[in-house]
Chain A
Amino acid sequence: MINRPRLGVFSISGCAGCVLTFLSKNLIPTLENFETVAFPIIKENNEGKLDIAFVEGTVVSSEDITVLNEIRKRTKTLVALGSCACFGGVPSIKNFLNKTKIENFVYPRTSHLKSVKPTPLNTHVKVDYHLPQCPPNKQEIREFLICYLNKRKFELPTSSVCVECRQKGNTCLLEEGKLCLGPITAAGCDALCPSKGVECYGCRGPAKDSNIKEFVKEIKERGFDEKMIKRRATFFAGLSFEKKWKKR
């Protein structure tokens, strides 16, 4: 096993859910094709050049930017892991609220926090691949790793969660009066939440093939207004949905 690609798994400000997904029994056989050089949550020594680095979390402080730049400098390939790294995730809800009010509600003094606007990795550095979803999809991580090892092209699905959901024969949650973002959210989760009866909150970001205009029209007929939809879309990928909204 010489010349295995050198792997790093990092987190900036986040919940560790994504890096924990790597510590999974079913991923181990695939990961054994890599040399784990850096993995701070389980490793004492984390120095050295990398071929591929996975990073979870949202950039929320100047410290995060420093750490992210350092990782970018030492790796050939950088992968944004999870919805925070890909879109800003839950912490990026703050961008759609009154920043000062929110900050002062939690901390009476904020100067020591060195807070910056909650943003995804690609706002600050070049990101080679995105693996969205909260928490990330183990099967998709495995497929990505296999593609990387075999130098095959990896692409995310462009259709919507709605397509996957229908293929599974689920009852439509919109029909049940729930505000489900399935029609405008990117597929790849096998419609996990709607299959459990939970409405889609858009954690895989906007679907390339989706038609937001049509969706808004249809959902208005069901008694929701555009403001409610926009607000719901801020939960995991607000900044990305906002861009798509403006393009429409």
Chain B
Amino acid sequence: MEKEISIDHMTKVEGHARLHVIIEDEKIIKCELEAIEGARFFEGLLLGKKFDEAPEITSRICGICSSAHTIATVQAIEKALGIRPSKHTLLLREALIMGETLRSHATHLYFMALPDYLGLESVLQLKEKKPKYVDFAFELITIGNKIVEAVGGREIHPFPAGFENVKINTKRLQEVKEMLKAKRDKIKKGLKIFLKLKYPKLIRKTDYLCLKKKDDYAFIGGLLHSKSGTIKTTDYKKHITEELREYSTSKFALKDGQSFMVGAMARINNNYEQLSKHAKEFLTIKPPFDNPFYNNVAQAAEILHIVDRLIEMLNKIRPVKKKKPIPKTGHAVAAVEAPRGTLFHEYKLDRDGIITYANIITPTVQNLARMEGDIQLLLQKIMHKNKDEIKLEIEKLIRAYDPCFSCSTHFLELDWKEYS
């Protein structure tokens, strides 16, 4: 017997994607995850642009992680121009990326993931049945928004923290700090639901990649770390290769020829030691995690880490005075931890500071191959179930990765075709 499953229009993830599966004699002979997001050719758009124009363009790759793209661009270009950002500048960027990650994780956990586990269609139903969850999510999102706005000038697509003088709303940051202090226990208690959800059992070993620092939970600096050892950011292309698959508008990345995972779970697995006190206390289930569904747990723990870290650092942030950089020839790579995982930006500049080469590898591109592998593994376990159950389980798995096909995923339409 042959079965063909295609899931059209995955929505409720950032972006557009579909899945195509063919099963023959209880064997999966095809499992293709297809990004159908239209190609916007960002790297091409950057060619011929002046270095300081680049963040205006790259932040528009993604509205959910626009701060991460902005910072990756600025840090790569700074390196290419031989500029070393000050401690204060780095602190400012760390606050920006943490504010964004807090908001992104909260949006994913409560608006996209949680309704599935409570048997609800959407966050709109959740709001009717359990409004406290949605109110809580909005509290977290609002805190994230306030930080990004205070540091970056607006909630989405922040102004590039770094090329020139940055106007910071320090009063607002102080308010947020006090708010976080007052709410920390409530946040810790509120997030506990993600420890208690019934996650499907799907254990597999894979390699986890993220930035790592000795004495800090890395978001914007450090070296790349995985089980095969440490990699210099500049050597990323020697290890991470992108391949094109005819069925998808997205590229698929492999690390040393194998699928791998980036994102909150990879960071928690590799950097558990560097987590804050409350985040460690929160994790009553101890990492390392080998079940991709636990990415939800990892995101919840990261929210607590971010809360702790922000309380520690928000009053240290102050405006930074900088001179406009002088253009020169250069070539550099920067990696930052975006909410969904390691993000690479690489640029070459000519002597006028004009971009002559750009390469960007996003977290979702790196997770796609592993996601396909996990879907296959899950299908083997659940192929005997009915159409609706299979659909929900696959959707839950894909959502756990929190992919960003440039915005994706709720309605999965599942077509069954059975041949005899």
Contact = CB atoms under 8 A, between A and B. Distances in A.
B211 interface: no
Given A20-B156, A25-B138, A36 B36 contact: no
Contact of B121 (A43, A103, A118): A43
A192 B14 CA distance: 27
A135 B47 contact: no
Contacts of A58: 38, 40
Nearest to A31: B124
B366 interface: no
Interface string B134-145: 000010011001
A219 B302 CA distance: 49
B122 A112 contact: no
Sorting the interface of chain A by its residue count into under 10, 10 to 19, 20 to 34 or 35 or more gives: 35 or more
Contact of A112 (B112, B153, B246): B246
Interface string A99-132: 0011101111110110100100000000000000
Interface string B29-46: 000000011111111110
B63 A107 contact: no
A135 B410 contact: no
Given A41-B410, A45-B411, A90-B60, A105 B39 contact: no
B93 to A, nearest CB: 16
Given A15-B61, A94-B44, A235-B56, A112 B66 contact: no
B407 A14 contact: yes
Contacts of A134: 60, 157
B167 A197 contact: yes
A25 B141 contact: yes
Most chain B CB within a 10 A radius of its CB, from A15, A18, A91, A97: A15
B294 interface: no
B230 interface: no
A94 B41 CA distance: 8
B48 interface: yes
Interface stretch (A60-68, A161-169, A240-248): A60-68
Given A16-B407, A41-B11, A235-B57, A105 B43 contact: yes
Nearest to B126: A42
Interface in A3-62: 11-21, 23-25, 28, 36, 39-46, 58-61
Contact of A13 (B9, B112, B142, B406): B406
B83 to A, nearest CB: 19
Contact of A23 (B14, B141, B406, B411): B141
Given A23-B111, A103-B41, A198 B153 contact: yes
A91 B63 contact: no
A93 interface: yes
Nearest to B64: A16
B12 interface: yes
Given A135-B63, A192-B154, A193-B159, A113 B39 contact: yes
A25 B142 contact: yes
Contact of B122 (A16, A42, A115): A42
A87 interface: no
B141 A12 contact: no
A196 interface: yes
Interface residues of B, number: 61
Most chain A CB within a 10 A radius of its CB, from B56, B64, B407: B407
B36 A15 contact: no
Contacts of A19: 407
Contact of B44 (A11, A63, A105, A235): A105
A188 interface: no
A118 B121 CA distance: 34
A107 B157 contact: no
Most chain A CB within a 10 A radius of its CB, from B16, B41, B404: B41
Contacts of A13: 16, 37-40, 406
B155 interface: yes
Contacts of B111: 23, 42
B249 interface: yes
A43 B399 CA distance: 13
A197 B157 contact: no
Interface in B42-75: 42-45, 47-48, 53, 56-57, 60-64, 66
B101 interface: no
A94 B12 contact: no
Contacts of A201: 56
A206 interface: no
B244 interface: yes
A89 interface: yes
B329 interface: no
Contacts of B60: 15, 17, 89-90, 134
Q: Please list the 3 inter-chain residue pairs (A to B) with the smallest Cβ-Cβ separation, ordered nearest first.
A: A17-B63, A40-B11, A13-B38
Given A40-B409, A40-B411, A42-B123, 18 more contacts: A13-B16, A16-B15, A20-B107, A39-B122, A41-B407, A41-B410, A43-B124, A44-B121, A60-B39, A61-B39, A101-B44, A102-B41, A103-B44, A113-B39, A118-B40, A135-B154, A135-B156, A198-B159
Interface of B: 9, 11-16, 36-45, 47-48, 53, 56-57, 60-64, 66, 107, 111-112, 115, 121-124, 138, 141-142, 145, 153-157, 159, 164-165, 167, 244, 246-247, 249, 404, 406-412
25 contacts: A15-B63, A16-B406, A17-B62, A28-B138, A40-B12, A41-B112, A41-B407, A41-B410, A42-B112, A44-B12, A46-B11, A60-B39, A61-B39, A90-B40, A90-B60, A91-B40, A91-B41, A91-B45, A103-B44, A113-B39, A113-B249, A134-B157, A135-B154, A135-B156, A196-B159
